Structure formats: structure tokens, C-alpha cells
Amino acid sequence: MSRAIPIAVFASGSGSNFQAIAEAIEQQQLHAKIELVVTDKPDAYVIKRAESKGIPVLAVRPKDFSSKEEYEEAILQALREKKVEWLILAGYMRLVGHTLLQGFASRIVNIHPSLLPSFTGKDAIGQAMDHGVKITGVTVHYVDEGMDTGPIIMQKAVDVIDNNREETEAAIHAVEHDLYVAALKDILK
Ligand code: GRF
């Protein structure tokens, strides 16, 4: 059997996508190992999810460093110590800088809750609803220096449920969890 690909998951919030990836690995749908969870928010719920699975967490606040380069250098060092090969962004609410982009060229992926190139950046679901679109969706893409601009790996459409943000969001999250696992199966070979 081939080796499990060592990955790190980056998250700033709840971590439901982290959870979906971790469970897919446990159920042997995905042949990878989460060596580290990286978060920029020391109170993010993803930390509890990781700890309950015994996965190490690196919580680092950018404001504790004198520059973005130093912040990312600290992360890079931890990733190297763990021999991580791929970075999986799952609700990491920061633009990745050149230190990590160079360290992991073409090996950083992200999930975004819209059909890119529509509705980049924050609150993509709110943007779609404010715009009145009837169909939105989910995109998994490679990360480049732009905001949600890298090459697209997989997309899936989701119907907007009129005037119901909560239900639309729930439908998008459910699709995210399946789509991320499907995309990672494809690329982590
Ligand atoms: C997801 O909607 C993801 O697409 C976006 O941030 C959200 C993270 O959710 N980038 P979670 O923390 O994985 O629950």
C-alpha cells in the first residue's frame, strides 16, 4: 500500500471541513495523515476538534510577530519538522504570503463557498444572497498570491434558498465536506 501523504490543515474557525477530512482519513477514504493543524486564532473551535483527535495544533497570532514573513517562517519551520507535504486551507481567513507560497509551490489548496470567480473574499454566501443569485456553490482551488484566484480543481453548484441564509449555508457546508474529500482524493496521490 502507498504511504499516507503528510498534510497540514489551516483553519481560523469552527473546523467542520477539518473534521470532514479527518473522518475521511479515519474511514480510509483518503490516504493521508494530518500531521498538524495550524490556526491564527488561539480560541478557534478547530483546536478542540483537533485535540479530541490527538492531532497537534500550532496556534500562532500574526500580531505576535514583527512581520508576515516572520509569522509564516515560524509556521514553515513547524511544517518542515513534521515533514508536511501539502497545505489544506479550510476556513483560514488570511491571504497566504510568499514565504509559504514559495515553501509549498503548487501544493496549497483552499475551499471557498461560491462558484469562483464569483464572490471572492469574505462572506461569499452573504455576497451571493445580496446579489440575488439563484445558484451559488463551492469551489476547491489551488492557492496563488491572489484572493481566491488560483486554478480551479473542482466545483459544485448549490441552490440558494430564497431569503434563508441559514438553510443556504447549511446546504453549502454539506456540499463542502464531500467536495473537499473528493478533490483531495484526486490530488493527493
Ligand atoms: C467554509 O465555508 C469555507 O469554504 C470557508 O470558510 C468556511 C470554514 O468553515 N473558506 P469550517 O471552519 O470548516 O466549518
DSSP string spanning the chain?
-PPPEEEEEE-SS--HHHHHHHHHHHTTSS-EEEEEEEES-TT-HHHHHHHHTT--EEE--GGGSSSHHHHHHHHHHHHHHTT--EEEESS--S---HHHHHHTTT-EEEEESS-TTSS-SS-HHHHHHHHT-SEEEEEEEE--SSSS-SPEEEEEEEE--TT-HHHHHHHHHHHHHHHHHHHHHHH--
Task: Please state whether beta strands 32-39 and 5-10 pair in parallel, antiparallel, or not at all (unpaired).
Answer: parallel
Q: Single out the catalytic residue among 112, 131, 141, 177.
A: 112
174 C-alpha to ligand 1 centroid (Å)? 11
pLDDT value at position 163?
A: 85
Q: Whose CA is nearest to atom 14 of ligand 1?
A: 16
Look up the pTM and report it.
Answer: 0.97
DSSP 184: H
**pLDDT the model gives residue 97:** 98
Residue 155: predicted pLDDT: 98
Q: Is 109 in the pocket of ligand 1 (CB under 6 A)?
A: no
Task: Give me ligand 1 centre to Cα 1, in Å.
Answer: 32
Active site residue 112: yes
For residue 156, the model assigns a pLDDT of 98
Is the beta carbon of 126 within 6 A of some atom in ligand 1? Answer: no
pLDDT by 10s per residue, the chain, length 189: 578 999 999 999 999 999 999 999 999 999 999 999 999 999 999 999 999 999 999 999 999 999 999 999 999 999 999 999 999 999 999 999 999 999 999 999 999 999 999 999 999 999 999 999 999 999 999 999 999 999 999 999 999 998 899 999 999 999 999 999 999 999 998
